[in-house]
């Protein structure tokens, strides 16, 4: 089943399937007025969702955190995603789901009585990171983390992340690595990992970071290769002494960071180049996708 019309993707909006250009929401939707909503991004490989249950669990957690009554059960979300995949052309896709508190008179308090949530889902073709990017790595810059204190909620209120990403772009880098009170939190749209002395280090999973689905996945892949994993507070200056730095996200998968603030990451022959821990994790990641 493929419903693409005039080359447009088919999207879901509040129970209807329609071309993207025909999907409209009210200007009084609280997602538009307040950023009062949550979202999920789900990668799809060869028309198979990747780590679906983990995404469904995080979706439920985000809805609960902002007190939106789930408009669908897990099985219904899974059916919606499957329907969306089949209605669009690409074998590799990434799905975007957004749920807002709905349409109501502008007021900071929740609508009383409740109004139906707005549910929107769309698919886009997924271009996996190229071999060139995987082999060359990416540059990042350091920025203070100036966002709010509930970064663990996958909220549509992303202005802090948007400003951080643009600050990085203005400095010639595709991503920013953020620090709060001198400790690593995350990137503007990624989780950040440090390698030191053969071990993988990651920031604490708390309200200051969004726990990406690849957070747990990288732990699993590291353990498969007997790579020690340490979840702890990481001081900013430690990153300047790292052997390797990695970034992970749904669309970037796992990539090596080769420069931090225009200085090479690592020491010796691997300075400014992807390192051996990255190579092992990258291979295991690809094998996992190939096995879907």
* 113 and 17 in a common domain: yes
| Judgement on whether residues 281 and 140 belong to the same structural domain of the protein | yes
Q: Tell me how many domains the chain contains.
A: 2
For residue 105, give every residue at least 6 positions away whose Cβ sits within 8 Å of its Cβ, in sequence order, or none: 28, 111
223 shares a domain with 111: no
Alpha helices in 147-273 (DSSP H): 159-170, 213-224, 236-239
Same domain, 43 and 139: no
- For residue 287, give the 3-state DSSP assignment: helix
**How high is the pLDDT of residue 3?**
66
pLDDT digits (tens, 9 = 90+) for 7-45: 789 999 999 999 999 999 999 999 999 999 999 999 999
Per-residue pLDDT at 270: 87
User: What local confidence, expressed as pLDDT, does residue 6 receive?
Assistant: 54
How far is Cα 39 from Cα 58, in angstroms, rounded to an integer? 10
**Residues 88 and 187 placed together within one structural domain of the fold:** no
Terminal Cα distance for the chain, rounded: 21
Flag residues of the chain having pLDDT under 70: 1-6
Pair 135, 117 in one domain: no
Give residue 26's domain range. 10-125
Give residue 211's pLDDT: 87
Residue 239 pLDDT: 97
Tell me the C-alpha to C-alpha distance, in Å, between residue 236 and each of 180, 181, 239: 9, 9, 6
* Residue 188 and residue 115 share a domain: no
Q: Which of 93, 125, 157 is the last residue of a domain?
A: 125
Beta-carbon neighbour count of residue 155 at 10 Å? 19
Query: Which residues are catalytic, by number?
Result: 154
Domain end, chosen from 84, 101, 125, is at: 125
Residue 2 in domain: no
pLDDT at 269: 87
What pLDDT is stored for residue 212 in this prediction?
86
């Amino acid at each position: 089943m493929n419903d693409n019309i005039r080359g447009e993707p088919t999207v879901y909006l509040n129970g209807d399937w329609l071309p993207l250009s025909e999907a409209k929401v009210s200007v009084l939707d609280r997602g538009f007025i307040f950023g009062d909503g949550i979202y999920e991004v789900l990668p799809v490989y060869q028309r198979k969702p990747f780590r679906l249950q983990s995404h469904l669990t995080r979706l439920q957690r985000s809805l609960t955190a902002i007190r939106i009554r789930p408009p669908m059960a897990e099985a219904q979300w899974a059916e919606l995603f499957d329907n969306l995949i089949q209605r669009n052309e690409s074998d590799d896709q990434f799905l975007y789901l957004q749920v807002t508190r709905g349409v109501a008179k502008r007021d900071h308090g929740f609508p009383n009585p409740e109004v139906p949530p707005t549910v929107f889902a769309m698919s886009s073709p997924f271009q996996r990171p190229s071999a060139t990017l995987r082999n060359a790595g990416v540059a990042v810059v350091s920025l203070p983390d100036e966002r709010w204190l509930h970064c663990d909620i996958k909220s549509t209120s992303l202005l802090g992340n948007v400003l951080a990403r643009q600050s990085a772009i203005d400095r010639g880098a595709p991503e920013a690595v953020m620090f709060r009170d001198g400790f690593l939190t995350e990137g503007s749209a990624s989780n950040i990992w440090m390698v030191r002395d053969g071990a993988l280090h990651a920031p604490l999973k708390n309200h200051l970071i969004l726990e990406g689905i690849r957070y747990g996945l990288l732990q699993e892949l590291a353990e498969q290769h007997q790579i020690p994993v340490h979840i702890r507070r990481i001081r900013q200056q430690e990153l300047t002494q790292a052997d390797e730095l990695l970034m992970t996200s749904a669309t970037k998968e796992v990539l090596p960071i080769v420069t931090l603030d225009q200085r090479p990451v690592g020491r010796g022959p691997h300075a400014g180049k992807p390192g051996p821990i990255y190579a092992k994790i990258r291979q295991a990641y690809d094998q996992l996708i190939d096995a879907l």
